[in-house]
Amino acid sequence: MKVTVTVNGTRYEREVESRMLLVHFLREELGLTGTNIGCDTSQCGACTVHMDGKSVKSCAVLAVQADGREVTTIEGLAQDGTLHPLQAAFWEKHGLQCGYCTPGMIMAGSAFLRDHPHPTDEEIRHGLEGNICRCTGYQNIVAAMKSAAENM
Amino acid sequence: MATRIFGSGIKRREDPRLITGKARYTDDFQMAGMVHMVVVRSPHAHARITSIDTSAARGAPGVVAVFTGHDLKLGAIPCAWLVPGSDLKVPAHPALATETVRYVGDGVAMIIATDRYLAQDAADLVQVTYEVLPAVVNPETSTKEGSPQLFPEIANNVAFHWVASSGDDGVNQAFAEAEVVVKERIVQQRLLPTAMEPRAVLAQWDKYAEELTVYSTTQNPHIARFILSGVTGVPEHKLRVIAPEVGGGFGSKIPVYADEALAAWASMKLGVPVKWAETRSENYQVTIHGRDHVEYVEMAATKEGKVTAIRGTVYAGLGAYISTAAPGVPTILHGLMYSGAYAIPHIRAETFGVLTNTTPVDAYRGAGRPEATFLVERLMDRLAHTLNMDPVALRRKNLIPPFENGYTVAIGLTYDSGNYEAALAKALGMFDYEGFRREQAAARQQGRYLGIGVTTYSECCGLGPSQVAGAVGFQGGLWESAIVRFSPAGKVQALIGASPHGQGEETTFAQIIADELGVPVDDVEIAHGDTNRSPMGWGSYGSRTTPVGGAALVTAARKIKEKARAMAAHLLEAATEDIEYGDGKFFVRGAPDRFKSIQEAALMATLAWNLPAGMEPGMEASAFYDPPNFVYPFGTHIAVVEVNPATGQVDLQRYIAVDDCGPQINPMIVEGQIHGGLVQGIGQVLCEGVVYDDQGQLLTGTMMDYAMPRADMFPTFEIESTVTPSPHHPIGVKGVGETGAIASTPTVYNAVIDALQPFGIEQMEMPLTAPRVWKAIQDARAKGGQ
Amino acid sequence: MRPAQTTYQRPTSVAEALQILAAHEGAKLLAGGHSLIPAMNQRLATPELLVDIGRLDELKGISVSGNTLVIGAATPHAQVTASPNVRAHARALAQACGMLADPQVRNWGTIGGNIAHADPASDPPTVVLAAGGKLRLQSATGQRVVDANDFFLDLFTTALQPGEILRSIELPIVVDRRSAYVKMPHPASRYAVVGVAVFLDVANGYCSHASVAIGGAVPKATRSPGAERALQGSHLDDAALAAAAAAISAEVSGMAMSDLYASAEYRTAMAGVILQQAVRAALA
């Protein structure tokens, strides 16, 4: 089936199998490998992207469902070479170690901050319930989220 | 002097690529003609294969080839830690089973197809018939007469039996004469390492050069090359292993697995690049698990609380085959650490390494030392309860007094340095212990159950020296190497043999170089993870990258500095001994305006227009560093919990960690390591645990069932440190990668048990989930507890 | 994580969707897909045809019609949670849809998909049942309205017939009715180990109406007449709550589910504990 998806501002037309997951479409059809795959049950959140402005786990969506929609991946988050405040805050606050969960964490976190501009620690920890990190113990991710909230 | 970069929490240079999606992990690589491999795996834990029919799969769309074990020309997957004196028997581990499968996930066939969806489609078409055999999953049960046998040549499934003792007579006498003995049966449940990046491999055979390149999610590319060379027959100088970005390992990416060998062989056979990437469910079935001990441990003491002896018998599950480092984990890395931070005169550790019909078990963060620390700290609290002593006072009574240069514990290890009392004092300074005890007593009156756990630990890491490696049967060295070189324009490149995968040594090692050579940190590049580029190294595990690899780096940098000093002296027409160094410049003593920068010296050495007599051109040095001993970080951790008796839910309210890993190169990164370790260790207490059923089916086979710690389980950790340098390390540093995971499990566990003292509960099996805690309370109430 | 071969159609109306369903026996409705696609990823579900109704505007939106709160089946959970109408008239549903799974799933998973899937450990069915809700179903021959009591039949089984589409969820609006949903989530899956929804009419401390439903603990969302009797006509004091707790646990006992994480015994006991938490939350 033919799909047209706008990813990071660029319109792509591709012929895909109906069964292809959005995450594989992004990674393998478009070469946008910044979005990672960490599980196969839609628990870990590593594959989180924005679809029509809302966070989504791209392993739980078929590429055909994204037809006609706008998708933003980690590669498209920085604007004109300037890091998104949350990207900058992850760097500043050591919110990542191996970096594998990080794109999904930043995509989920940036969507959360849009809806919760002044979050408490508890709200942040709760707001990240769809994302798993094995390296950081979450503490510096929470710190990065707070810091970004102050700078946004 | 400029601000010293050593000790500064500078931002990580790894991060820009990682936060923008530019990092490249193994599964991110695409190659022309690349095909995908899917392994068909056994659904049974123990079965004889009666037939494999691949005909339907061969005809499926996109399928390039289907192979079974009969097609392979591969050596067995080896074990690389042959612990001596233990009668170790290593059964053959074929890359694909041909006759018998021994765990759910054991490979029986492989599909190569043009697309990973099509490969999976074809895998579903492979028809394997099995004659199912009885299975055994518990390591203690597995040793009993009549248990299903995995290998005919290994009686009662005991692959090895290892004992370390300070002297059996002394141990026996201490227990016989003890005023108090406390005992416990401890189950260290299996854990899933769950590096967020599942394993992957991309093998590329160059049929013209007859060279094999393997991109692999490995913590130790040189060991991977060593082993893969043996398994595939490709000589090491024709085999290149690249560890690109690696998304965490925690030990699970130390071993070389069948899958890497299969992809390599398939690429050689088919002449195209072959990629394999495991799914998470597959990761949970085939990538190593951690822990899996059943332990019988006991501690002897006087009525005053002086510990006189400790001993244990451990049934350590190995899984169905013996993974790369598996025998060393429950022996050398576990049994030798029964003294903990305490002066204990008599110690005996005994371990049975046991095969079961389960996923192989190997090193997982802490690897043996968390289990040792847990049993020591558990027995300490139990002893305190038995003697009705305060657990902190009991620990104080038994801590090894401060030492700066060596303390030999009864079982024979010589700790490098320690000041346990100082760390304990610092932690207690952050916490009103007496006040808490009053609050706890008052809360109990209101039916609220608060608890505290205090752990004073010491662990051993920075794995080396090689002489010890040899003595304990590790089939490799444990040194590290580094090459440091100046480019003509004054930039520094350092190549290291170790292979960090998230820890941040690209940054901290640049800090070391900047500090040693007085160059801007941004002028330093640290390269690793490619056997064709990096010098030999034994890998990143056992908290050894900085203690061993960092020392190699310092040593190489100091060689450069001495050469630069000689070069500067020559250029300044002064004697080398008259040259002073400061902030990247070499001065003539007494004439501070006469100097050459290290970059100038490097440039002139590189140009070689005017070298001192006998000096070789260039500004490059390599160093091989074999540490004289392990390093022994230590500290005190405190946890406060509240248990809801109505639901059994445990609320972790405070966590204080004071760790001493010597001088900190980058405190921000040190704290990050501790945070992560804490969550892994606490995860073991509160939520994580592998469950197999009696038939060997993995019931916690996905993230839907295996509970990974999430952000909302934790308070903000309160982190402090003390600084006790290692006497034998060039810059005094110790490892910190595992301390959090080592200390936190007993700390939180003991806190929960402390909370439940009014019910008389002394023991529960981890994880302490709400249903389990609730059940323990119900049972205690039924027995007449509070 | 590689679904099996399938095909996909995206009708532009419910009527067209119904025609496709009628013509293809192996067809499966896809709205948000957040239950179906994870199952397809494990190849536990292998539908021949996916009929995507996730974009049909006629299935979306939240409105008040007389004394009824109407929620389109294809409305994502996040919109249910954010809806002022839902918060005002069925706070428990806003809570349930706000604690289901995680934010990403709530953004795209739909309430109708969730209810039609009828996972016993899911949250919205419990609330819809306690609220006295109704489900509006549409087939080629017309619409019918099924009381929630008659809709949830068993584990993953509802009154939906082949060729029927869940159109909307309809909850009665009662002035000043209070409600709450409390759950104990599974630590890995986040599904409810026990979830309890209560709807209460309380004036001057006196409870004149109580409806209670439980999920997670039992094979399908289930009302608790015993708890309702204990609460209704009481002042919701400790004794009444204890009686309600005992009643719901007694009812759950015998049909409670057991799994790796929590025994039937635990679920039975927690039914009462969580019920009390839910009543207190409704009053707060």
| Domain identity same for A68 and A7 | yes
Mean pLDDT of B449-474: 95
CA C124 – CA C197 distance, rounded (Å): 9
| Mutation choice for A interface testing from B18, B674, B687 by most A CBs within 10 A | B18
Average pLDDT over residues B430-441: 98
Instruction: Tell me if A34 and B250 make a contact (CB, 8 A cut-off).
Output: no
Q: Where are the domains of chain B?
A: 32-133+201-238+259-270, 293-463+629-782, 479-625
Percent of chain B clearing pLDDT 70 (strictly above): 99
Residues A128, A65, single domain; the answer is no
Q: Would you give the end-to-end CA distance of chain A in angstroms?
A: 40
Sheet containing B307-319: which strands, arranged edge to edge?
B158-165, B346-355, B307-319, B293-301, B180-188
Mean pLDDT of C94-99: 98
Of the candidates B281, B646, B691, the beta carbon closest to that of C260 is on B691
Q: Which chain C residue has its CA at the smallest distance from B777's CA?
A: C266
| Same domain? A50 vs A104 | no
Report chain B residues whose CB lies below 8 A from the CB of C260: 691, 699-700, 705
Instruction: Identify all chain B residues contacting A100, using CB atoms and an 8 Å cutoff.
Output: 25, 195-197, 247-248, 502
Here the ipTM equals: 0.98
What proportion of chain C, given as a percentage, has pLDDT over 90? 99
pLDDT number for residue B3 = 60
Q: Which residue has the tokens 């809709």?
A: C151
Of B647, B707, B778, Cβ closest to residue C273: B647
Q: What is the pLDDT of residue B229?
A: 97
Contact A54 C78 (CB under 8 A): yes
Q: How does pLDDT run across B516-544, given as a tens digit for each residue?
A: 999 999 999 999 999 999 999 999 999 99
A80 assigned to some structural domain: no
The pLDDT tens digits for C181-212 are 999 999 999 999 999 999 999 999 999 999 99
Q: Rounded distance, CA C156 to CA B529, Å?
A: 49
**Region B293-463+629-782: CATH code:** 3.30.365.10
Angle between helices B369-387 and B739-755 (to 10 degrees): 30
Q: Which of A127-131, B463-467, B706-710, C46-50 has the lowest mean pLDDT?
A: B463-467
Range of the domain at A122: 85-151
Same domain? A66 vs A125:
no
Neighbours of B613 (CB within 10 A): 5
The whole-angstrom distance between A43's CA and the closest CA on chain B is 6
pLDDT tens digits for range B716-750: 999 999 999 999 999 999 999 999 999 999 999 99
Do residues A94 and A139 share a domain?
Answer: yes
Are A46 and B196 an interchain contact pair (Cβ–Cβ within 8 Å)? yes
CATH classification of the domain holding A18: 3.10.20.30
CB contact under 8 A, B19 and A132: no
Mean pLDDT of B241-267: 98
Residue to test with chain A: of B10, B27, B196, B708, most A Cβ within 10 A: B196
Percent of chain A surpassing pLDDT 90: 97
Domains of chain C from N-terminus onward? 7-52 (3.30.43.10), 57-172 (3.30.465.10), 177-283 (3.30.390.50)
C20, C163 in Cβ contact below 8 A? no
The CATH superfamily label for domain B32-133+201-238+259-270 reads Aldehyde oxidase/xanthine dehydrogenase, a/b hammerhead (3.90.1170.50)
Q: In angstroms, what separates the C-alpha of B33 from chain C's closest C-alpha? A: 21
Q: What is the mean pLDDT of chain B?
A: 97
Write down the pLDDT at residue B1: 40
Domain count of the fold of chain A:
2
Identical fold at B32-133+201-238+259-270 and B479-625? no
Please answer yes or no on whether C184 and B647 come within 8 Å at the CB atom.
yes
- Is C269 touching B (CB cutoff 8 A)? yes
Tokens linked to C225: 């007449």
Nearest by Cα to C105 from C203, C21, C180, C190: C190
CB B290 within 8 A of CB B169: no
pLDDT of residue B4: 80
Q: What is the pLDDT of residues A20-54, one digit of tens each?
A: 999 999 999 999 999 999 999 999 999 999 999 99
Q: A10 and A67, same structural domain?
A: yes
Cβ pair C8:A64 closer than 8 A: yes
Residues C89-105: what's their mean pLDDT?
97
Q: Do the domain assignments include residue A79? A: no
Residue-wise pLDDT for B96-133, tens only, equals 999 999 999 999 999 999 999 999 999 999 999 999 99
Q: Which of B21, B501, B740 sits opposite A103 (nearest CB)?
A: B21
Does the CA dihedral B87-B92-B95-B99 come out positive or negative? Answer: negative
Evaluate whether residue A64 is within a structural domain: yes
CA of residue B617 relative to chain centroid, distance: 41
Note whether residue A130 is domain-resident.
Answer: yes
- Ordered DSSP codes for B486-530: E-TTS-EEEEESS--SSS-HHHHHHHHHHHHH---GGGEEEE-SB
The strand pairing partners of B636, in sequence order, are B456, B658
CATH class entry, domain B479-625: alpha beta
Per-residue tokens: B125: 């078409």
Condensed to tens digits (0 to 9), the pLDDT of residues A65-98 reads 999 999 999 999 999 989 999 999 999 999 999 9
In this prediction, residue B786 has a pLDDT band, given cuts at 50, 70 and 90, of low
Judged by CB atoms closer than 8 Å, whether chains meet at A97 and B672 is answered as yes
> Looking at beta carbons, which residues of chain B come within 8 Å of C186?
707
Of the residues A23, A45, A74, which one is the last residue of a structural domain?
A: A74
Nearest to A95 by CA among A139, A138, A141, A45: A141
- Regarding whether A105 and A136 lie in a shared domain, the answer is yes
Tell whether the model's pLDDT for residue B2 goes beyond 90: no
- State mean pLDDT over B482-509: 96
Reported as type and span, the H/E element at residue A105 is helix A102-115
Q: Which of A20, A28, A96 sits opposite B15 (nearest CB)?
A: A96
In angstroms, the CA B586 to CA B606 distance is 17
Angle, helices C264-283 vs C238-252, to 10°: value is 150
Which 8-state DSSP code applies to residue B386?
H
A97 and A126, same domain (yes or no): yes
